[in-house]
Amino acid sequence: MVRGSARRRWLSTAGFYALAALFMLPTVFVFYWMLTLSLKPQIEATAYPPSFVRFSVTLAGYREVFTKYPFFLYTWNSLVVATGCTLLGLAVGLPAAYSIARWRQQQLAVIILVARIIPGIAYLIPWYIFFRSLRMVDTYGALILTHLIVGLPIIIWVMISFFEDVPADLADAALIDGCSHLGVFWRIALPLVKPGVVATGILSFVFSWNNFLFSVILAGRTTRTLPIAVYNMISYEEINWGTLAAAATLITLPVLLVALLAQRHIVTGLTFGAVKQ
């Protein structure tokens, strides 16, 4: 009897991994293809049938990324903008989410969501006129503020459910003990939702890091971010695959690392509040 149950457990574990592998294959393959493409010479990158495993390795793509393009500048720009957007988003979004959750301001929450639902391209021309008259085109400020349209609603909406899970009694107890509302938020609520803060921070960072559209229009030569850099490899009737894949790999790498390191937080963040005690 005992042996039978052990075997069943083994089978279900194997089945689980087989299924997981099946679902992961398409995702992982994309990364594998990107990585191998970045190492192939152009002539093999376009070969048909494609060579998946055996190919000659060159680092020319990576060399070109760093020598022909100001890749470090782009990376720095992306870092500044994504970090700025995330910090500002948290600074504004956390109190907002707390307030919405504590005082049940549902209408406010919906209005914020509407801002996220409208396609970003609709904002572009008004923004451009706005930032142009403020002389803010081609500045970090303009990029950070515009990226908030993507980051802020995420932060607020995910954090609302986190704050809703903080028992109201805790806050009331603190208030009776003489704590101010701001104090309750800062000393009681915020420490309790730390995993959520980490998760939303990362999500907002990734959204900003990957944003392409706003950066094309509002960034200039000095503030251009990484996703635009990838497009630099596409010329008239010519695509430089090796360099493009090398740039894509380098751009994906930090996000991938951050996501892997903080994976636990992200999963908590996405599902937290889904089940109420």
Partner 1 sequence: MAARRFTRRHFLKSVAAGVAAGPFVWTPARAQGFNWKRFSGKELFLLLTKHPFIDVLEKNIPEFESLSGMKVKWETLPEIQARQKMTVEMTANSGGIDAFFTSLHVEKKRFWKAGWYHPLNKFLADPTLTSPDFDWNDFTPGARAGVTQPDGSVSALAAFVDANVVFYRKDLFGPKGLTPPKTLADLEPLVKKLHAPPGTYGIVLRGLKNANATQYPSILFPMGGTYLKDGKAALDSKEQVAALEMYTRLLRQYGPPGVVNFNWYECSAAFMQGQVAIYMDGVNFASQFEDAAKSKVIGKVGYAVLPSGPGGHFSPIYITGMAVNAQSRNHEAAYLFAQWATNKTNMVRELMAGVGVGRASTWDSPDVKAKPKMPADWYQAYQASLKIGRQGLPEIVGVTEYRDIIGVAIQKGIEGAPAAQVLAQAQKDFQDLLNRTES
User: Contact residues for partner 1 (CB under 8 A)?
Assistant: 41-43, 46-48, 124-125, 128-129, 132, 137, 216-217, 220-221, 228, 231-232, 234-239
Asked if 205 and 81 count as a contact pair (C-beta separation under 8 A), the reply is no
Q: Which CB atom, from 198 or from 216, has the smaller least distance to partner 1? A: 216
Q: Which CB atom, from 112 or from 219, has the smaller least distance to partner 1? A: 219
Distance of CA 132 to the CA centre of its chain: 28
Taking the C-alpha atoms of residue 38 and residue 40, their distance in angstroms, rounded to an integer, is 6
HSE (side-chain half, CA atoms, 13 Å) at 236: 0
Q: Which CB atom, from 68 or from 187, has the smaller least distance to partner 1? A: 68
Number of Cβ within a 10 Å radius of residue 22: 9
Instruction: Provide, rounded to whole angstroms, the least separation between the CB of residue 47 and partner 1.
Output: 6
Instruction: Provide, rounded to whole angstroms, the least separation between the CB of residue 251 and partner 1.
Output: 16
Q: Which CB atom, from 113 or from 239, has the smaller least distance to partner 1? A: 239
Asked if 37 and 57 count as a contact pair (C-beta separation under 8 A), the reply is no
Taking the C-alpha atoms of residue 69 and residue 13, their distance in angstroms, rounded to an integer, is 48
Instruction: Provide, rounded to whole angstroms, the least separation between the CB of residue 137 and partner 1.
Output: 8
Q: Which CB atom, from 199 or from 248, has the smaller least distance to partner 1? A: 248
Asked if 140 and 223 count as a contact pair (C-beta separation under 8 A), the reply is yes
Q: Which CB atom, from 130 or from 157, has the smaller least distance to partner 1? A: 130
Asked if 46 and 242 count as a contact pair (C-beta separation under 8 A), the reply is no
Each residue of 245-275: b (16+ CB within 10 Å) or e? bbbbbbbbebbeebbeebeebbebbeebbee
